[in-house]
Amino acid sequence: MNSESITKLFKHFDAFLMATLMFALLIGLFVLYSASGESMGPVYKQLINIGVAFFLMWIVTNISPSDLQRLALPLYLVGVLLLVLVEFFGTTSHGAQRWLNLGIMKIQPSEIMRIAMPMMVAWYLSKQDGKLTAKHYFFGGLLLILPVGLIMMQPDLGTSLLITASGFYVLFLAGLSLRFLLGSSIFLLAMSPVFWSMLHDYQRTRIEILLDPTTDPLGAGYHTIQSMIAIGSGGAAGKGWMNGTQTQLEFLPERTTDFIFAVFGEEFGLLGNLMLLVMFLLIIFRGLMIASEADSGFSRLLAGSITLTFFTYAFVNMGMVSGILPIVGVPLPLISYGGTSMVTLCISFGILMSIQSDKKLVAR
Amino acid sequence: MRAELRNHQYEQSRFKIRLVICIVAVLVLFGILATRFYYLQVSQHQHYKTLAERNRIALLPIVPTRGLIYDRNGDELATNFFSYILEIAPAKPAEIEKTINQLSAIVEISAYDRKRFKKLRAETKRFKSVPIRTNLNDDEAAKFAVNHFRFPNVELKSRLFRNYPFSSSGAHFVGYIGRINDRDVKKLTKNEKLSNYKGSDHIGKSGIESFYEEQLHGTTGFQQIEIDNNGRPVRTLTTNPATAGESVTLSVDMNLQQVAEDAFGERRGALVALDPKTGEVLTYLSKPSYDLNLFVGGIDHENWNRLNNSIDRPLINRPIRGLYPAASTFKPFIAMAGLENNLRKPPYRILDKGFYSLPNSKHRYRDWRKTGHGYVDITRAIIISCDTFFYGLAVELGIKRLAAFVSHFGFGKKTGIDLPGEKSGLLPTPEWKKRRYKKPWYAGDTVIVGIGQGYTLVTPMQLAQATATLANDGVSMKPRFAIKFTKPTGEEVRLKPIVQDKTVLAQENIDIVRNAMKRVTLPGGTARMVGSGAPYTVAGKTGTAQVVGIKQNENYDAKTVSDRNLDHALFVAYAPADDPKIALAIVVENGEHGGSTAGPIARKVFDYYLLGKKPPKKKVKPTERVGQTTVQDRLIPQPHRHQIQSNRAN
């Protein structure tokens, strides 16, 4: 195989995006090595995860946006069907029913929805030829609510919030009335005392602990307190790679997955954190650029939503680890250990690259 | 075409405006994050640095003292006691090995102790000490105290253990605590109680210990301590004390319990006695029993296999999980059903020739007396326990009407007693049979329900509850053990009796049945020996439940049947008959005749409860238990945080 055919094989890849992704993943591997107590086991496993995810990303880059458009409805319907099946036949782990055992493998239908949701809403809205009325936004909202409701029943609050966000971004980018948005936010804000009074006592204490973790330092508050200590003690320059005491003395819970950012913050300090923010910003800007240059309505909306959802994951994770947002189970994209979210993430980046590459073809 | 193009352009420009809004939002939100990082890592850096680097703060849970369980006289059923243990502070493996070897010269350390220590060390957090020896006696503790200076990283601690002074007496309702396992963790997580169990190693597994776990456990406190680089505690910063669990007082009278157990002797079976006016459980017996103390901290294989594989099934909680045919003890309730439906009202009588046949059928449902009883009215039918009378009554009532009526007395449903794992028995209906066996209901099925046989199954608890309801003129009180909770502050909460089901029954019908039951214990009745010579009146009903089926034209011969296949003896009764203070149900497995086997047990219980005949008191003192069984001595201790050290520090 000569160099030209290799180039051809990866012709749909976006060089800038690939470079930033690889850099972020590399950082992730280093942090993972430190967080898992200097053991190579998780690092090897994560490398396999990345390999599988990149392979799937490569496949997706070879699907043109028009084919993706055709896939939107079937994928969405399959996703909803699987979510319903989970409700009845799903296996329970950690108290939530999220997995579906297909005999040969276990799948998590809510992950399919992370891709299918923005595709479906984007397909539906772009189909209307730019003549969008309130009716269309309303129906788009319905497409959003049904699967999100099913995921909330599992219960998986983090994922359902983020899938809601991915669908909402499509509606917003398509031009959902700002006046409507403002109006409904004010309405919800005004109604919040009513919702509060409808909650059970245990639900209220849960929210109170989210707002003030020190009230339950052994239970729900423990994570937040320990991760804030980790980040804060890191200081401006950090304690250095593999020198975080919070991490190495195992005070930090879930330090390879949802709370890996606390490890990063402890060992690399404010400088590291700002660098990570900048890197995420580069990825986000590149994604939004692809969205703004895309030539079909579907591609635009989809690329925009994927990028903003990526931003939301990063923001929510760093926000909860640094103690300004309540703890919902959301991993830090590209850095946290775990195969499922890595695969979903890379597939969505594959879609971005496919959209970018399609534009290049048209321009030619 | 042009309009479309313009539309397209408009769409694109609107999209771009929206993108700009998003970019601004992204920058603002990342800006907030950056500010937050600055706040944590620069402004508050010193604060967090103090917390994390120089002084590592550990939060140690303080396990609350578990509440006690008392009987109605204030006798302790479950207590805590202190015992000494030796703990080794974290250090390098080689150093620990050396310490253990030196230590074994002073106190005995077995291979088992070493194995357990290794296992515990592997699963314990770095800054926690791990026990090497538990349950030291006073001599051993003193011996170590003298040599303490040689072992700077070994600590002598006193910890709280659970003890059941009555050991096997009342074991089935007191229940036991055991080490928290994965299933418990799952349940606690689901109920959002897991954080209250940080540091707790034990949880109620059965009986009252499990049912009132929430009250008994208490609230876990926590202590912020400073630890040095080796993970050793330096000093205590703040202490948020634990709140001890509430103590539970039960309605059971352990003196009465002893009387009942002695009367039962070596026989297998169950006895439940209730106060019909309040639903309070006075005695609750399941025979054979087992020593509760074996279970604290995890039972060893030897004892577990012995109990679990025993043919006598000591682990079965017979009063709420044993299912028996109600047999003839069902008859008073069928009689009530008949009278309330205006069937068989006196002076109606039947001529009993010794059998009953369904119309157009030659099959004979035989009476227990081959020759029959002659003319029998409803009162005499109960006194002599006439089967023929009730065969016919059941058929005339029909299974649906019968089942619906007797369910008011609690048959076929849980009584709601405050113990986990109660079974609901079985009150068969045609729908149930179709579901269960996919077969239609035959008339013959109804016939034998009339004498409490066939598919009908009851628990001794249900029988006692139904008898108490009858004794209380149809007002069913919710049966309950707990009568009082005592908070650690001394504040007491008394539980009020709860009316469970208030079936309105005609007083004249109740009087007929209760008068007949009174005559059961008089000369001529099936339980005449229960009443003979008693200074109070007793109302009762005997029952004999078949264990093996007897074929048509075959006689039951006790001599040819092996011990385990002998009939179960049943007896329900209350006394005094006109002002009932105690109602009970007794099942003696393979005891053959209700009147002669179960009856005398009832008499002894009544005699004590109503006349106060004192029995000899037998109790196992907690201190006697130490060193009693070698297996028990080696159980893993419960880390109730009652350390000498922390007490001194405060």
What would the pLDDT profile of A311-330 be if each residue is shown by its tens digit? 999 999 999 999 888 887 78
Question: Is A175–B15 a contact, with Cβ atoms under 8 angstroms apart?
Answer: yes
User: Which candidate in B17, B41, B53 is best for mutational testing of the A interface (most A CBs within 10 A)?
Assistant: B41
pLDDT value of residue B629: 30
Q: Indicate the pLDDT class of residue A257, thresholds 50, 70 and 90.
A: confident
* Contacts of residue B511, Cβ cutoff 8 Å, sequence gap at least 6: none
Q: Is the confidence at residue B166, as pLDDT, over 50?
A: yes
pLDDT tens for each residue of B430-487: 999 999 999 999 988 999 999 998 889 999 999 999 999 999 999 999 999 999 999 9
Q: Supply the mean pLDDT for chain B.
A: 84
Average pLDDT on B506-532 reads 90
Long-range contacts of B499-503 (CB under 8 A, 24+ apart): B499/B475, B500/B279, B500/B410, B500/B416, B500/B476, B501/B408, B501/B410, B501/B469, B501/B476, B502/B474, B502/B475, B502/B476, B503/B408, B503/B409, B503/B474, B503/B475, B503/B476
> Per the structure block, which two tokens stand in for B387?
């089967």
Which positions in chain A touch B46 (Cβ < 8 Å)? Answer: none
Q: Please check whether residue B169 is in contact with residue B261, taking contact to mean a CB–CB distance below 8 angstroms.
A: yes
Q: In this structure, are strands B582-588 and B269-274 parallel, antiparallel, or unpaired?
A: antiparallel
Distance CA A148, CA A83 (A): 10
Instruction: Sort strands B247-250 and B482-486 into parallel, antiparallel or unpaired.
Output: antiparallel
Range scoring the smallest mean pLDDT among A81-95, B100-114, B185-199: A81-95
Q: Which residues of B touch A223 (CB under 8 A)?
A: none
pTM of the model: 0.59
- The chain-wide mean pLDDT, for chain A, equals 86
Interface check B40 vs A, CB under 8 A: yes
pLDDT of residue B638: 32
Q: What are A295-313's pLDDT values in tens digits?
A: 888 999 999 999 999 999 9
What pLDDT sits at residue B190?
A: 84
The count of CB pairs under 8 A between chains A and B is 137
ipTM comes to 0.92
DSSP structural state of residue B286: E
Residues of A in contact with B61 (CB under 8 A): 218
The predicted model gives A158-179 an average pLDDT of 89
User: Residues 160..189 of B with a Cβ closer than 8 Å to A: which?
Assistant: 186, 189
Predicted pLDDT of residue A312: 96
Q: Do A233 and B49 touch (CB under 8 A)?
A: yes
Which one has a higher pLDDT value, B526 or A207? B526
* Listed residue (B239, B233, B235, B234) closest to B127, CA to CA: B233
- Which residues are CB-neighbours of A231 under 8 A, at least 6 positions away? A261, A262, A265, A266, A273, A321, A322, B37, B40, B41, B48
Burial class (CB in 10 A: 0-12, 13-18, 19+), A313: buried
pLDDT of residue B181: 79
For residue A70, give both structure tokens: 């055709």
Who's near B267: CB < 8 A, 6+ residues apart? B287, B588, B589, B591, B597
Please indicate if any CB of chain B lies within 8 Å of the CB of A284: yes
Closest partner CB to A318 (pick from B14, B15, B33): B33
Cα(B141)–Cα(B324) distance, rounded to whole angstroms? 52
Contact residues on chain A for B189, CB-CB shorter than 8 A: 95
Specify the pLDDT at position B53. Answer: 59
Compare CB distances from A232 to B44, B198, B220 and report the shortest one's residue. B44
Q: Is B532 a catalytic residue?
A: no
CA distance B264 to B258: 10
Predicted local confidence at residue B4, as pLDDT: 59
Mean pLDDT to the nearest integer, A188-211: 76
Nearest in space to B331 (alpha carbons), one of B478, B475, B519, B467: B467
CA–CA separation, A107 and A99 (whole Å): 6
| % of chain B surpassing 90 pLDDT | 48
Give the pLDDT score at A220.
Answer: 64
b/e sequence A14-32, b meaning 16+ C-beta within 10 Å: beebeebbeebbebbbbbb
Whether the bond into B576 is cis, omega within 30 of 0 = yes
B29-83 tens-digit pLDDT: 999 999 999 999 999 998 888 877 555 667 778 888 999 999 999 999 999 887 7
Q: Does A263 lie at the interface with B, CB-CB under 8 angstroms?
A: no
- Residue B23 sits at the chain A interface (C-beta within 8 Å): yes
Strand partners, B82: B160
Residue A249 reports pLDDT greater than 70? no
Q: What is the pLDDT of residues B479-508, one digit of tens each?
A: 999 999 999 999 999 999 999 877 788 999
Which positions ≥6 away from B426 have C-beta within 8 Å?
B323, B412, B432, B455, B456, B457
| Active-site pick, B129, B210, B251, B328 | B328
Residue to test with chain B: of A218, A252, A355, most B Cβ within 10 A? A218
Closest partner CB to B30 (pick from A222, A277, A322): A277
Q: How confident is the model at residue B637 (pLDDT cuts 50, 70, 90)?
A: very low
Interface of A with B in 293-352 (CB under 8 A): 297, 300, 304, 308, 311, 315, 318-319, 322-324
Record: contact B8-A206, CB cut-off 8 A: no
Contact B192 A324 (CB under 8 A): no
* CA distances (Å), origin B577, targets B339, B379, B512, B581, B609: 20, 16, 13, 9, 14
Interval A72-111: pLDDT, tens: 999 999 999 988 888 787 766 555 566 666 655 567 888 8
pLDDT confidence of residue A95: 54
* Contact in structure between A198 and A208 (CB atoms under 8 Å): no
Contact A231 B48 (CB under 8 A): yes
* pLDDT classification of B85: cutoffs 50, 70, 90: confident
Contact A277 B33 (CB under 8 A): yes
pLDDT for residue B647? 30
Give backbone dihedrals phi and psi of B344, rounded to 5 degrees, phi first: 60, 25
Q: Is A229 on the interface with B (CB under 8 A)?
A: yes
Measured between CB atoms, does A233 come within 8 Å of chain B?
yes
A217/B222 CB distance under 8 A: yes
* B22–A308 CB contact, under 8 Å: yes
Whether A355 has its CB under 8 Å from any CB of chain B: the answer is no
What pLDDT, on the 0 to 100 scale, is given for residue B414? 94
Residues of B in contact with A321 (CB under 8 A): none
SS3 B358: coil
Q: B31's torsion region: left (phi>0), alpha (psi -120 to 50) or beta?
A: alpha
Least confident of A313-327, A331-345, B105-119, B376-390: B105-119
Rounded to whole angstroms, the Cα distance separating B246 from B213 reads 10
Question: Cβ distance B510 to B470 under 8 Å?
Answer: yes
- From A109's Cα to the closest Cα of chain B, the distance in A is 23
Written as one string, the DSSP assignment of A4-20 is: HHHHHHTTT--HHHHHH
Interchain contact A172–B (C-beta under 8 A): yes
Question: What residues 60-79 of chain B have any CB closer than 8 A to a CB of chain A?
Answer: 61
